[in-house]
Amino acid sequence: MSEGGVRVAVVTASNRAAAGVYPDRSGPVIAERLRAMGCAVVGPWVVPDGEPVAEAIRRALGERVDAVLTTGGTGLTPQDRTPEATRPLLSFEIPGIAEALREAGREKGVPTAVLSRGLAGVVEADGHRMVVVNLPGSRGGVKDGMDVLESVLVHAVDQLRGGDHVRPE
């Protein structure tokens, strides 16, 4: 890892949690897992789905975090708009991460994991680059997603900072 720790913003996309109908259940799971990985956590910020997700991603970019993990809004309901809010901000996608997230759920016996439309990619502005990953909204989907990200997120951030691939001896 290049110098400096990894700062990650957590964004929960939930119309009902944002309205106070119930508490955010998945954002805290992500934050806990990130802290266990040694990351500094910003948030969770709880926002309604759609454009407020894009606003939160732009806010994180302004705060120069290294990554943003969103949770929620990746399904098929009319309210699920996180991928649509994310895609226009991406300079490029990292399809392998999104594919691995869906596969991890499927492998754990959740056939509906393949219905997640979550994206992963890089947002760039003013000389700053950050990884953005859309995770599902369920606690189980978040746990499965963090199992995948635990092994690649810090390395992805290191590469964005100009780090090299780890070479076997």
36-52 tens-digit pLDDT = 999 999 999 999 999 99
User: Mean pLDDT for the chain?
Assistant: 94
From the list 126, 117, 41, the residue with the least C-alpha distance to 79 is: 117
CA distance 7 to 142: 18
d(CA 31, CA 40): 9
Average pLDDT (80-89) is: 98
- Dihedral of the alpha carbons of 58, 63, 67, 69, in degrees to the nearest 10: -60
Strands 67-71 and 128-135: parallel
CA-CA distance, 134 to 128, in Å (whole number)? 20
How far is residue 67's CA from residue 30's CA, in Å, rounded to a whole number? 12
- CA proximity to 119, closest of 144, 86, 151: 86
Give the chain's end-to-end CA distance (angstroms, integer): 17
Radius of gyration (C-alpha) of the chain in whole angstroms: 15
Higher pLDDT, 164 or 29: 29
Mean pLDDT of 104-111: 90
